[in-house]
Chain A
């Protein structure tokens, strides 16, 4: 008997356009560009990803929900992408709503702006969580019971906060150094908490789909649904849950349609449910069903990224640190301006992707193909961002807020 929790994360940032020192003070429009060729044209990116990934995946999953009454899964959908869908692609947003309406798709809470605010400002963080809650309630008529922080960035403090905030569960990476000999395939309790449960990603099985699926150099290529179902069944008999967490864009965007990823998805429920007693669960259902076996102590921040599983991809270099410091040091002045447009622009600049684009890790090895970014280099990302921050300062001064 195996239970699988599938959890998908849906997000797009508002990318900053090419923005120079000469634009600061002149152009207050950071996220919209007319140029159709530009990789920072957020509308174009959204339409492209919707066409390649969101629509076909929603369609396939809805079909599976109809075909197999046992299928259920969970997803988080950031405020910034909901905003983009409402602006540019209502039809795709409707297809997300269709999924949620089945009541077998659980929505997970997070920050509206997909930010790292938890580590810089508790006040701002809580505001963004509330904003996300509001948009989820308005669009999907749901209230999240489970929390995931941006990039799955997790530590004891976050679990403590989420526990106090009343969440039933929280998500993190099932990373060996924090688990030791233990397996991620059980329910856990975060250290120093009372009620909340910790669900840990099985990164090996998750990444088989998310990262390795179309890799022809991988010994297991091609990965079929029956082979994967066999792996799901292969673990210890008494283990509780297998948490498959991944970006939603895995389907159709990271793994292209011609890799067979949709066929894989199509056959997975059938292959997995073939064995009697196997089930799919939402995160909340898993928490209802299983008692925690142990507590997990995570004093240092853990994420789901890179081999380091830390925040170094976002905050590892001097530029990233200068940029995030520049943003959060403006907080009180931004609040004081009471200029809603300014406050919202400031929040959109907190989205973690901006800092990720400034990461130089991959750029060094000559392996620039590993640099996933709309910019030519991390330096371009930094310069655009910092000149925009200067413009925020300009607007503050215009508003009469002294810096």
Chain B
């Protein structure tokens, strides 16, 4: 079967989980015999051999120097082959993508359109109108999530809503997300299927283990401190203010607790000043956005990974943490809790309970070790291949391109 995959980013040009999820999902689909044409808003200069990656931009952008991904509304700094530079807003960029997709579908051969998140949806709708092919929407996050349970941008909501109405099938990354689509977008339940994101054990293989790059934290751990880490964009959706409140409460009981925050985003200054206001600046370490060894080491150094999200469709980082040897505390508002049982859980607003659990992990090593050991047993059973299998079952409902 041939799939036209509409995405916004692929690693290494990713701002968060969306790019990683698309990449892993497509790889697993390709391994099960699905042929994929993946359309990006920019030219992808990294080698990918399991699918055909195309750019929707007929102006032939060679690089996007400042991509903030689907989440921010910063302008795009572009450079064309001709060498001219210019700026585009996110919505201009979206329009370029939409028009590019509409043109591309004329020349591409495919059975199903599979589009990832709102920013590709206007292009996806055009593609469906042009070709009449079935449209599968994949919801990694809704505007409701990004606005942390608020209204968000009405134009984005409109695009999401129209696409959901027009879609033949909607795939949600968790049951939580499915329920949000039903409740917030009035889509009937039977139109939505849940396919959890996943992880492969090799994804967290630590080939450069050894000395941890966070030397200060390492030394503090040796003198009895315990480290809590949170890794993600610094944005309201992630609920970090509540985590800081929890750390404040926990440190009041046990001063030997440190919080490592890895990530960047518009909330950075707010979080720094909030830490100062709470009097916990010494206990909170901001380490900016990291990739590679420093990202892996952040997971590894922690005694507990916290996913404090207000509304988190999935939350792959909690799975990555397990792979790197660290158990997780996740909010009930996070979809990842559907994929693994062995998490500590808390309501995002309940700073006191969050503190209770952080204190418990800091005090009782047996809790940390038992939690990790059991979550790792579950982790080992996860694979993208299983999620890809579910997607293929969905594709097959349209009775297209199946080898008889």
Contacts and interface: CB of A to CB of B under 8 A. Distances in A.
B371 interface: yes
Contacts of A321: 366
Interface string A371-384: 00000111100110
Interface in A376-398: 376-379, 382-383, 386-387
B126 to A, nearest CB: 42
A364 B378 contact: yes
B360 A383 contact: yes
B328 to A, nearest CB: 11
B205 to A, nearest CB: 23
Contacts of A21: 250, 253, 355-356, 359-360, 363
Interface residues of B, number: 24
B374 A360 contact: yes
B344 interface: yes
B169 to A, nearest CB: 26
A386 B370 contact: no
Interface string A1-45: 000000000000000000011100000000000000000000000
B356 A319 contact: no
Contacts of B364: 319, 322, 382-383, 386
Contact of A386 (B345, B360, B371): B360
B374 A386 contact: no
Interface string B346-380: 00000011011101100110110111001001100
Given A318-B369, A319-B370, A379-B371, A368 B341 contact: yes
A398 to B, nearest CB: 18
Interface string A312-325: 00000111011000
Nearest to B249: A22
Interface string B168-189: 0000000000000000000000
B342 interface: yes
A382 B355 CA distance: 16
A363 B370 CA distance: 12
A400 interface: no
Contact of B370 (A20, A360, A366, A387): A360
A376 B352 contact: no
A387 B357 CA distance: 11
Given A318-B366, A379-B344, A386-B364, A363 B353 contact: no
B377 A364 contact: yes
B341 A366 contact: yes
B contact patch SS: helix
Interface in A273-317: 317
Given A20-B353, A21-B355, A22-B249, A363 B341 contact: yes
Interface in B97-135: none
B341 A382 contact: no
B253 A22 contact: yes
Contacts of B359: 21
Nearest to A366: B341
A318 B356 contact: no
Nearest to B369: A318
Contacts of A20: 352-353, 356
Interface in B147-202: none
A323 to B, nearest CB: 8
A376 B359 CA distance: 18
A22 B369 contact: no
Interface residues of A, number: 21
A20 B350 CA distance: 13
B356 A364 contact: no
A22 B374 contact: no
Which of B345, B357, B366 counts the most A-chain CB atoms under 10 A from its CB? B366
Which of B352, B363, B370, B377 counts the most A-chain CB atoms under 10 A from its CB? B370
Contacts of B371: 379
B353 to A, nearest CB: 7
A71 B303 CA distance: 60
Contacts of A383: 356-357, 360, 364, 367
Contacts of B345: 376-377
A378 B345 CA distance: 12
A360 B352 CA distance: 25
Which of B253, B345, B374, B377 counts the most A-chain CB atoms under 10 A from its CB? B374
Which of A21, A360, A368 counts the most B-chain CB atoms under 10 A from its CB? A21
Nearest to B357: A383
A22 B342 contact: no
A22 B344 contact: no
A319 B366 contact: yes
A379 B353 CA distance: 13
A317 B365 CA distance: 12
A377 B346 CA distance: 12
A379 B367 contact: yes
Nearest to A318: B366
A363 B342 contact: yes
Contact of B360 (A368, A378, A387): A387
A384 to B, nearest CB: 9
A377 B369 CA distance: 15
A378 B360 CA distance: 13
Nearest to A390: B363
B318 to A, nearest CB: 15
B374 A319 contact: no
Contacts of A360: 342, 370, 374
Contacts of A22: 249, 253, 352, 355-356
B378 A386 contact: no
Given A20-B356, A319-B364, A363-B342, 20 more contacts: A20-B353, A21-B356, A22-B253, A22-B355, A317-B366, A321-B366, A322-B366, A360-B370, A363-B374, A364-B342, A364-B374, A366-B341, A368-B341, A377-B341, A377-B345, A379-B371, A382-B360, A382-B364, A383-B367, A386-B367
26 contacts: A20-B353, A21-B356, A21-B360, A22-B249, A22-B352, A22-B355, A22-B356, A317-B366, A318-B366, A318-B369, A318-B370, A319-B367, A321-B366, A363-B341, A363-B374, A364-B341, A366-B378, A377-B341, A377-B344, A378-B370, A379-B371, A382-B366, A383-B357, A383-B360, A383-B364, A386-B367
Interface of A: 20-22, 317-319, 321-322, 360, 363-364, 366, 368, 376-379, 382-383, 386-387
Interface of B: 249-250, 253, 341-342, 344-345, 352-353, 355-357, 359-360, 363-364, 366-367, 369-371, 374, 377-378
